[in-house]
Structure 1
């Protein structure tokens, strides 16, 4: 499978990108934007709720995706008020089920900075959501951030805003989040995609027994530049030091929010995710993607995971580390797009008005015959 350029639209099967000259466009007036917006950026600006350090990031893909982060209201039973939950919402709606991107442990939707635009170029309706307790949601009134709360928050976000069965994508610990969610809310998940899946670790283990002051001291280290830089050097197969440093700033940006430390300690002391006994309960068709040079989660576990899942296929990417969606976005986008399209014949597509536009028009795409 050949690599695709980030500068070119990703073609999937016989589908034509929605910007094609061969399509017919119908403009319809709409009274409001789909999904709602809270604190979203205007053209060329960052959302007001992001830490000011976002301005120091050089990666153009991270900057572009950061400008699209919104906060949507999610009502949960364990909090009196709606949680304003951070995510990147799709600019298109199509008849096929949406792709919903989770992220790794203590990370954010910015992980998908390189792959997200390629999935949009493939005309997939794509969401990138922040798991409760991480990312850029407003947690000023701190909710519980244990696995059960994260699961229920994702369910309510799905029930309120997405509303259709998802192709749920989980990298690393996000794979445990995805398995836990699919096992508990199977009606909300059409297919699963698990990337470098960290699903055989049984929670946070002995960390649950730490005194709180030691837990806070340990969590404080997680946002330190030296530790994050070292983690990036482990995670990626071979990247320049300057790029690694910039990606370190991208990866720790959410740690600069005032409630990040409390939320992470809350998660750590709660026991974290233990989904070992849930894996065989997953009935959805599953795609497993793994980097052959993963230094964090042994790629041999991919074969175990494939055996444990009732309906799974496995793709290994050569010369790739722990985060294929960052390191090999063209290949990952192609795999996701092909897997999402498999078995789907519905070609209807709607392009939503961008939050950068001055009007609320919706663009309907009808593929040419």
Structure 2
């Protein structure tokens, strides 16, 4: 992905295209590259915005999902974005949920894929094992239905994180805050059209999580993709983009006139 990383004050982000903003939030072990296919597909019709979340740059007190949601709120305010289509994967979905609950007037629609906020399986009871490359490789593979999606480059990135003591502490802080911050009682407040795109083989936030989101968010619809894990926009980008494009297209369509 060769898009320019822009800066605005303390924020670093990608912004490509023109039109309604489609703002995407990556997960705990995610990166902007997770959305490369999505950015390329949608930048011709939308302004695709992807902030680099400061997972390891906030002080430990603010290294929480609430702290990240405040960061996103400040980023959106600084960028002057309105009428946002807000998309989040994994922890990014959780951050997006917190944002829309606090700032509903800014969000036109919500898209969640493999989102935390209700339930998630972590990296395991012994996570993280520092220095054990094979362990990290296997855990990274579990993110996907196809283990070959866990490329050496991706495993190396996760391995480097788990071998940095400060990053490990902040990763654990974020993971624990996500578990504590259960949004089950607040989701009924979300009135925006909401799209749930889920992998049928998601081991981190299994399909029953999507069904529960669908049950609790009033104006929501859910799509399951077979042979797909926790990151559908990476593993099955063509199908993911098709589902998302149809959803966004319905929101653009003029309301039916009544004779």
**Same fold at TM > 0.5:** yes
Asked if 1:197 is matched to 2:197, the reply is: no
CA gap 1:144/1:197 in 2 versus in 1, 3 angstroms: closer
Asked if 1:146 is matched to 2:64, the reply is: yes
1:33 aligned partner:
none
Asked if 1:87 is matched to 2:13, the reply is: yes
Structure 2 gaps, min length 5: 255-259
CA-to-aligned-CA distance 1:165-224 (integer Å, 9 cap, x gap): 2111111222221111111111121100011222213999xx9xxxxxxxxx96574x96
Match of 1:260 among 167, 170, 178: 167
CA gap 1:143/1:106 in 2 versus in 1, 3 angstroms: farther
Higher relative contact order (CA 8 A, sep 6+): 1
Aligned pair count reads: 251
CA gap 1:224/1:133 in 2 versus in 1, 3 angstroms: farther
Match of 1:160 among 75, 78, 83: 78
* Distance in 1 separating the partners of 2:177 and 2:112: 24
Q: State which structure, 1 or 2, has the greater radius of gyration over its C-alpha atoms.
A: 1
1:127 aligned partner:
49
Structure 1 gaps, min length 5: 1-63, 74-83, 208-216, 347-369
SS at match of 1:198: coil
Judge conservation of contact 2:66–2:95 (CA < 8 Å) in 1.
no
Asked if 1:273 is matched to 2:191, the reply is: no
Q: CA RMSD in A?
A: 3.2
1:344 aligned partner:
252
Q: CA deviation at 1:257?
A: 8.2
SS at match of 1:100: strand
CA gap 1:336/1:251 in 2 versus in 1, 3 angstroms: farther
* Distance in 2 separating the partners of 1:86 and 1:259: 21
Judge conservation of contact 1:144–1:266 (CA < 8 Å) in 2.
no
Q: CA deviation at 1:327?
A: 0.3
CA gap 1:302/1:187 in 2 versus in 1, 3 angstroms: same
* Distance in 1 separating the partners of 2:243 and 2:98: 23
Judge conservation of contact 2:141–2:148 (CA < 8 Å) in 1.
no
1:366 aligned partner:
none
Relative to the length of structure 2, the TM-score reads 0.82
* Distance in 2 separating the partners of 1:337 and 1:312: 16
Judge conservation of contact 1:202–1:275 (CA < 8 Å) in 2.
no
2:257 aligned partner:
none
Judge conservation of contact 1:107–1:254 (CA < 8 Å) in 2.
no
